[in-house]
């Protein structure tokens, strides 16, 4: 699944930038510094927007393409911000066969965003994941760890309303 770039403008603070500069300085001389710097940068910002990746590349003296390559290779990294409520739809085999795509389509329509996007107000983000390990409850939707099993498109509005 290809990672999307954020649909929201970057809003980093001077404090976050200072922390990132300290992280880069701490790891600059290490071999393979990109991975730990990206991990700590994501802890600082919550995701890895292009602006942060550029700062990392410049600070470590490596090509931006290399930083982007690492950030898109590992699934632990997100290029988009997460909303207050992260809605995730499992698209693993069991969930997919039992109708997860239709549930995802409904969530997308209700929230007005696609997977890996965040609503403009920052309230909801949407993720399509591979497996949540609850195959017996397929299809599964989660909201910040709350699990909703045997979901149907018709139940999506009711679930999302709990978080309004």
Record the pTM: 0.74
pLDDT at residue 149, as a whole number: 97
Q: Give 82: exposed, middle or buried? Use CB within 10 Å, 0-12, 13-18, 19+.
A: middle
137 vs 1, 18, 162, CA distance in Å?
23, 45, 20
Helices and strands, number each (H, E), in the chain: 7, 5
3-state secondary structure at position 134: coil
Q: What is the pLDDT of residues 39-97, one digit of tens each?
A: 999 999 989 999 999 999 999 999 999 999 999 998 789 898 889 999 999 999 999 99
- The position carrying tokens 């399509």 is 128
């Amino acid at each position: 699944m290809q990672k999307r770039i954020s649909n929201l403008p970057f809003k980093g603070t001077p404090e976050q930038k200072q922390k990132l500069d300290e992280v880069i300085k701490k790891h600059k001389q290490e071999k393979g510094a990109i991975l730990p710097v990206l991990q700590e940068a994501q802890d600082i910002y919550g995701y890895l927007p292009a602006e942060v990746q550029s700062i990392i590349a410049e600070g470590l003296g490596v090509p931006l393409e290399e930083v982007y390559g690492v950030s898109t290779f590992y699934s632990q990294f997100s290029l988009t911000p997460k909303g207050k409520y992260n809605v995730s739809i499992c698209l693993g085999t069991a969930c997919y066969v039992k109708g997860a795509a239709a549930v995802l389509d409904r969530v997308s329509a209700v929230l007005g965003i696609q997977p890996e996007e965040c609503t403009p107000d920052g309230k909801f983000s949407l993720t399509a994941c591979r497996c949540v390990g609850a195959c017996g409850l397929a299809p599964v939707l989660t909201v910040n760890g709350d699990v909703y099993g045997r979901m149907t498109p018709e139940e999506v509005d009711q679930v999302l309303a709990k978080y309004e």
